[in-house]
Structure 1
């Protein structure tokens, strides 16, 4: 099948239907399978699952592919909690799910999977299986190479699970053949070291996938679509590149209706779960290669947030369907807002990977979202307005203050936001000036626009002195004054930090001098502190070919990072040949350099062109006690939220900002929704 589209600057292409083997998808937007940790201990759909997926279907998503389900429990299980479809007891709840999806207007698919070496025996209680004895990631468990009998059993499991999906009312099934899971562990020379008929040549390495797809087709018949997800380019030395994967896919194309074209493996997760700096649709050319080679519909993914980027992908013929994963966690109504002509209201995912990927994979928590604290019911809070006129004053316009102001205004409050600086955004605004942080800068700008749409009176250049706050006659005051960089009593630090013409900056001073970095090429800069902010600074310096010395008093770097960003930063450290000094403290700051002291060594002077001190943040609370005293004295409650409580992440600030609704409920100004 050959499909071509004219280029356009509208969003008409992504709203067009597509029919594949009798399944008509109402538009070109796909919610790809993403784990949630919402499943019950028995592997069944929970109420949270139902609410979560229902909101994305109500939001207009054309095809929702349920997160991967286990075909053989417990050996093939993945993650802390995983849905199961390996037993008929799962059918009733799954059928209720597909009925719900169809009532809301979405097509429903399900991804079936065996984790192979990616299973964790500590969670499954079973030995891991794979093509060979290669762990799925560095430091992982060494699996047991599968026998021919075990291979045959897995083939049967995939077929039975696909048939069960069809019985449950799903419109299609997707077989997961990528991302370091079992089928990929046979396809990839990184994992497959076998010498029998399942190893060696591309035909042999593709044999298991061919057998699985043949069995799935025999179970579901000719009128049921089958999708296959592949890591088209593993982006690793010695792994499959795009041309290799196309050759592998040719052996099984006859059984495939849709190619879901992804990339990367467990060791380079930052290209599988895209790091923030990758542009919208960065891997769409891989999907185009599959589309041109096999003439079948393709799905592409890769940080797609902007409707125009999705439109270009379809219009240019790169793919037929665009998968928006984390973007639909952030805004379940992404499609609906495009369809209704209000794309400016989309809450664009910032690709931070904290509440979604890190919660789910590393921390064993159910997923959350940094910028949307209500992923299960989304914007439903707006339907319950305040019952009496209510005035709210918010002091501070960072992420916490902006969220509190918008949420209060969206339920009918008259809101005034007082921001000391020239523009809202708080301390995050400074870090967001780094080019790689453009998604966060966009989020801050959109947060300001959202507040203005809601009717918030934003006053910049005004701090929150009690007289000014009380002059607004508030019923509730929200203090969100944020934080400022820490400057410990280290010799020379306070004398040099952010002084005019100084060579020593905090993140605030560095952001204001960011244009100077290009002139430091080939010279040495010192970054003190290897937390999230320090590593962001290091990345920017490396991008400009600056020689970086990274100083961290703890024995490891990036302790506060999510797993995807951590991998990203390790890659940057290697690319920039960064001189990393862990277990090393800053002892003295001079204009021409710094003195550092290793835990087990002698002090050392490091000459530098510039030093950036990133030793964390401290709460700004200098005026808070007086504000509380004056306000409570006249019966006005004061909330303190965000970094002015304790410096943390944006996800914490936004969650606490939305907490203004609970405060309004407790004041009797708004009934519980």
Structure 2
């Protein structure tokens, strides 16, 4: 692949980069009181070890105390940040990667009831919808202080040994002093002075670091709003910034003041690939001497290669793709592109506030590099015969990892195709990319000798006939019904899976009672709505789909708006009564149990997660050597399970995923990965 444009070196100012692929700045939440942890070091080092040309640290590393960390940001206003940052820089540079850090003042995009509880600040006293904070309009002394804070943070970055600094210029403070829709809120006499702040910051940072570091901006060049920054204005701004020492621009399109706006800037599953690449190319044509970087939904190698080969960009950000597979570059170099774990656009990596830090929905090693493996070698002490029952996400993860470890693996699956419950979810065609998690695992398993037997509804004798050393039950779950939940109206209510089994069926008016709060509920609502049904969503929670991340919810919300879906939060299901005309009357109730509104509909569906499909597991348990026991300390560390052999109980037995209890996709895959890695 010597002629591959992605692998060609690039000189950015005085910095030599070994290839064109960049991991752009993003929040991992792997900090402790604003200081990057060992977890963060390992997370970034694996990207460098995997061959990426440039790693950008920070994900909005904040420069001032009145810019408190909203999402685990690195606090660059502390001197004690330098040493741990230096360790990260050294770890990445040891593998030949360049290292930048992104610096910012969050402006109004944070909270004033955390950190030091200081008032937030922006160019104008304009509330941000996402964080619901009311900033004060910056006074001249605030501007002076913030310029000095940027310079001091840049000096700390230089002391840590980074190669460059990227200044955040969209959705935070700097662009609030550059964008017309912010500046228009100021008194006319104040606008000219305020508009100088970004240039003052660039000048101060450049003075602080000299020629030793590369300076650039991550900048919205088109805010996609009538009163916002447009491309012509952005060109003029960028010309001025270049005169002050800016050497690269990371092109952003859009704004991020709400979840809906942010979801457009960071597109997920079902969105067009590389939707803003043409805009990045326009910036490149207008500024041929400036390095242009761009990263919005460039999540496959072919698109990235096109972007570089056709001169749309100089450097291509494959950030989420590089989260899904940190070894993406080395696989390109080795001619193994088919082995790259695909980014499936789930955006679970952006829900770090709910998961304790960045995780990938189908790469369990992300953020757990200290004890889990991205790349698995044959390390098993002795070859064992492993029987996996079930070919959903958990079963496939157990199968391919065990096979890569060197074991002989047979997978028994009742259905004619792999996928399990993922096959239900992708009946919502907007989420079809999720099947990539299945396809990749099947291909990996087959490459490493896994034998698949489909159409086998495995019973106890089917498993025992294979003389297994280890049995992994990954039989998934069965939809939990309204009867399971103890609802008195259960006879008139179908489970959620019925929606996915007949995704184009027209019922008329449908009601979904969401007692689960996770993605399947919203997928079902979208499937029903697209089939032409009038849909009402009801939940006992105070908000819709409480376990669904804000960015992904905004995509669902857009679909619901198109189809006029109605919502009834804080309502229980009291009764469902048949009518003489064949329809149903649904009586909702308040949390106190009092009858509330009544709704007439044609079909009611209940969403309540799953019950474990554990019949096979229970049948095998007493015949196993460990009786299904799991040593959690060993399990968490992906170490071998302690086991003993009693009489004829010759095999170990485990269950993973929904066969244990109702789990989400990431949790199910993590279960299986940890277990199989310890075999």
Name the TM-score, length of structure 1 as normaliser: 0.86
Moved more, 299-308 or 204-213: 204-213
Match of 1:371 in 2: 362
What SS class does the counterpart of residue 376 from structure 2 fall into? helix
Alignment of 1:330-349 (within 5 A): 330-349=324-343
Deviation at 1:107, TM superposition (A): 0.9
Offset at 1:123? 2.6
3-state DSSP of counterpart to 2:114: helix
1:647 aligned to 2:662?
Answer: yes
Matches within 5 A, 1:478-493: 478-489=472-483
2:72 corresponds to = 81
Instruction: Tell me the TM-score normalised to structure 2 length.
Output: 0.86
Identify the residue that residue 278 of structure 2 maps to in structure 1.
285
For residues 204-353 of structure 1, the aligned pairs below 5 Å read 206-222=195-211, 224-235=213-224, 238-255=227-244, 256-262=246-252, 263-267=254-258, 268-295=261-288, 296-353=290-347
The separation in 1 between residues aligned to 2:49 and 2:583, in whole angstroms, is 58
Greater relative CO (CA pairs within 8 A, separation 6+): 1
Q: Deviations over 1:410-429 (max 9, x none)?
A: 11111111111111111121
Structure-1 separation of matches of 2:620 and 2:197: 68
The match for 1:392 among 386, 402, 416 is 386
Structure 1 vs Structure 2 CA RMSD:
3.0
The farther-off stretch of 247-256 and 484-493 is 484-493
Contiguous gaps of at least 5 residues in structure 1:
1-8, 498-505, 665-673
Call closer, same or farther: CA 1:163–1:392 in 2, change over 3 Å.
Answer: same
State the alpha-carbon separation in 1 of the partners of residues 359 and 257 from structure 2. 22
Among 24, 30, 35, the residue aligned to 2:16? 24
State how 1:195-594 maps to structure 2 within 5 Å.
195=186, 200=191, 206-222=195-211, 224-235=213-224, 238-255=227-244, 256-262=246-252, 263-267=254-258, 268-295=261-288, 296-354=290-348, 356-359=349-352, 362-363=353-354, 365-375=356-366, 376-377=368-369, 379=373, 382-383=376-377, 385-489=379-483, 508-514=497-503, 516=504, 525-529=510-514, 531-540=518-527, 542=529, 547-582=534-569, 583=571, 585=573, 587-588=576-577, 593-594=583-584
Q: Does the CA-based 8 Å contact 1:485-1:615 persist in structure 2?
A: yes
Q: Distance in 1 between matches of 2:555 and 2:199?
A: 34
Classify 1:204/1:526 alpha carbon distance in 2 versus 1 (closer, same or farther; 3 Å): farther
Number of equivalent positions? 635
Please list the CA deviations of residues 526-555 of structure 1 after superposition, one character each: whole Å capped at 9, or x if unmatched: 544374223123334555765433343544
Moved more, 25-34 or 631-640: 631-640
**Aligned twin of 1:15:** 7
2:481 partner SS: coil
How far apart are the structure 1 equivalents of 2:231 and 2:577?
51
Gaps of 5+ in 2: 590-594, 626-647
When residues 346 and 86 of structure 1 are mapped into structure 2, their CA distance, relative to the original with a 3 A threshold, is same
Aligned counterpart, 1:176: 168
Matched, 1:597 2:584: no
Shift of the 602–87 alpha-carbon distance from structure 1 to 2, 3 Å rule, reads closer
Is the 1:491–1:588 contact (alpha carbons within 8 Å) kept by the matching residues of 2? no
Deviation at 1:483, TM superposition (A): 1.4
User: Does the CA contact (< 8 Å) of 1:32 and 1:323 recur in 2?
Assistant: yes
8 A Cα contact 2:48 2:95, kept in partner? yes
**3-state SS of 1:66 partner:** strand
Deviations for 1:33-71, whole angstroms, at most 9, x for unmatched residues? 111222232x33322122111110011101111124645
Partner SS state of residue 81, structure 1: coil
Residue in structure 1 matching 2:52, options 56, 61, 69: 61
**Distance of aligned partners of 1:204 and 1:548 in 2 relative to their CA distance in 1, 3 Å threshold:** farther
- Partner in structure 2 of residue 606 of structure 1: 601
- Superposed displacement of residue 434, structure 1: 2.1
Q: Secondary structure at the match of 1:286?
A: helix
Q: Is contact 1:37–1:364 with CA below 8 Å preserved after alignment?
A: no
Secondary structure of the residue aligned to 1:438 is helix
The corresponding residue for 1:140 is: 132
Worse-superposed segment, 616-625 or 589-598: 589-598
